[in-house]
Each structure stands twice: as C-alpha cells, then as structure tokens.
C-alpha cells in the first residue's frame, strides 16, 4: 500500500483457502514461488501441483517438494502436507489429478492450506474446478485487476490501471489476519520477488 510496509499472509488461520488471480504475466506464478520459498524456510511441508513448464514446478523439484502434474498419477497425492500450491489450475480441468484435488478440497475444511492460481478472465466464466472451489473462501490476491475482477472475491474494486507492474494488485483477506482485513476492504499490495 501507500505505506510500503510488509503485509503478511497467514494461510493457516480461518478459511485456509486463497485464490491468486490475474491476467497472463501478472505475477501469479511468482506469488506461488514466493509462498513455496517461504514455506521451505519455515519448515512447512508443501505439495505443488503445476504443469511441467511452470517455474513453480522447477522450484518444487529443487526444494524437494512433492509435485503433481496434470498428466500425473493421482495416487501420489498425500494428505500429510501442510500447504498445497496449485499453479495454472485451469490446466487441471478434466484430469484425474484435478478431480482428486477438487474432491480433496471439498472434503477437507482445515489443513492443509490451499493456494491456487488461475487466470481471472477464465475464472469469471468457469463454474467448476480447483480455483472455483478455492474462491468460495472469498480470500485472495487479485493481480492487475480490472474493476469487475472484484466479483471473484465478492468485493468492489475501483477502476485502476491495468499496466501495473507484475505482482501489483490487491489482497482480500479474512478478518482473523489482522486489522488490515477486519472490514473486508481490498488492501493494495506489491508481491515481493522470490
């Protein structure tokens, strides 16, 4: 925001579901990479679901995290993770792995925390899948948002420039995350680079 102070994300309280949405090249994967890096530094066991072309996939392999791909075998999924990071969730539509993850999200209200990224334009017209189930928490990060993107999380957004740098946007959080989120207003953010 204007104060340029760090805004901490606490995905292990309240909804434990977070959507990261935005247009292509807005910083969605970078946001997930940052969360993976921070989880590794803090001893949080993460599982990554991402296409092999994703930089998050490469980071997960380097850090020794379990990785699922859209074409992978769903039987490698583990309930023992603390955090599930899903990049390009639309790539998992109509796949066995995507169905497994979606079913798992519906069946587990608590841990692990789930963070899923999706293109905001595709998510606006999609009615099933991983990101649709995650967005029901109404918590998320909207990167380079258009005013209509606020509808994804049930908030109103002012008109703003869509030429913002990658990682610029707003965060909508749970009131239990602190005073910045107690009124449900979007908080301006710039995602740090991993």
Tens digit of each residue's pLDDT (9 = 90 or more) over 70-129: 998 666 555 677 889 999 999 999 898 998 888 878 876 656 789 999 999 888 888 888
- CB of 113 within 8 A of CB of 18? yes
What pLDDT was estimated at residue 11? 64
Residues in contact with 190: Cβ distance below 8 Å, sequence separation at least 6, in sequence order: 165, 167, 168
What pLDDT was estimated at residue 161? 61
Mean of pLDDT values over 14-28: 88
Query: Phi/psi zone of residue 178: left (φ > 0), alpha (ψ -120 to 50 degrees), beta?
Result: left
What pLDDT was estimated at residue 181? 81
* 84 alpha carbon, distance to own chain's centre: 9
Tens digit of each residue's pLDDT (9 = 90 or more) over 132-153: 988 888 889 999 998 888 888 8
Cis ω for the linkage preceding 89 (within 30 of 0): no
What pLDDT was estimated at residue 73? 67
What pLDDT was estimated at residue 46? 92
Percent of the chain with pLDDT over 90: 37
Mean of pLDDT values over 155-167: 76
Name the most confidently modeled range: 37-41, 69-73, 188-192.
37-41
* Structure token digits, residue 1: 């925001």
**pLDDT band of 160, cuts 50, 70, 90:** low
Cβ-count burial 97-115 (b if 16+ within 10 Å, e if not): bbbbbbebbeeeeeebbbb
Checking if the pLDDT of 32 tops 80, the result is yes
Would the pTM of this model clear 0.95, i.e. be above it?
Answer: no
* Structure token digits, residue 107: 């069946």
Mean of pLDDT values over 21-31: 94
């Amino acid at each position: 925001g204007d104060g340029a102070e760090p805004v901490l994300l606490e995905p292990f309280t309240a909804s434990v579901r977070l959507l990261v949405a935005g247009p292509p090249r807005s910083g969605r994967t970078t946001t997930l990479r940052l969360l993976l890096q921070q989880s590794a530094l803090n001893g949080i066991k993460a599982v990554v679901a991402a296409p092999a072309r994703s930089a998050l996939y490469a980071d997960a392999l380097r850090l020794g995290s379990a990785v699922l791909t859209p074409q992978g075998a769903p039987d490698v999924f583990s309930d023992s993770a603390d955090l599930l990071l899903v990049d390009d969730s639309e790539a998992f539509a109509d796949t066995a792995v995507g169905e497994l993850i979606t079913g798992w999200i519906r069946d587990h209200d608590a841990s692990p925390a789930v963070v899923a990224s999706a293109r905001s334009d595709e998510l606006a017209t999609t009615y099933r899948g991983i990101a649709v189930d995650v967005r029901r928490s109404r918590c998320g990060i909207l990167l380079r948002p258009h005013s209509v993107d606020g509808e994804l999380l049930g908030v109103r957004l002012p008109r703003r420039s869509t030429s913002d740098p990658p990682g610029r946007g707003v965060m909508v959080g749970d009131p239990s995350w602190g005073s910045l989120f107690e009124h449900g207003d979007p908080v301006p953010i710039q995602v740090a680079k991993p």
